[in-house]
Amino acid sequence: MLLIFPDTVVFFILVTIYCLTWFKIKRTQSFVGKDLCKQMSIYLLTYAIINIFAMANRLQEFFFPERAFFVLYVLQFSTEPMQGFLNAIAYVWNEPEYLEQYKILFSRCTTTKVKIIQVQGEQERLMSLISYDTLP
Helix, strand, coil content of the chain in percent (nearest 5): 85, 0, 15
Among 24-38, 78-92, 110-124, name the one with the lowest average pLDDT: 110-124
- Grouping H, G, I as helix, E, B as strand and the rest as coil, residue 23 is helix
- Residue 3 phi, psi dihedral angles, 5° rounding: -90, -20
Task: Quickly list H helices, 64-131.
Answer: 70-79, 83-94, 96-111, 116-129
Q: Give the C-alpha separation, 17 to 11, whole Å.
A: 10
Model pLDDT for residues 40-90, shown as the tens digit of each residue: 788 888 888 888 888 888 888 888 888 888 999 999 999 888 888 888 888
By the 8 A CB rule, do 73 and 54 touch?
Answer: no
Query: Where do the domains of the chain lie?
Result: 4-130
Q: What is the dihedral of CA 47, 48, 50, 53, to 10 degrees?
A: 150
Neighbours of 27 (CB within 10 A): 9
Confidence of residue 114 (pLDDT cuts 50, 70, 90): very low
Q: Determine which of 46-50, 73-77, 92-96, 115-119 has the lowest per-residue pLDDT on average.
A: 115-119
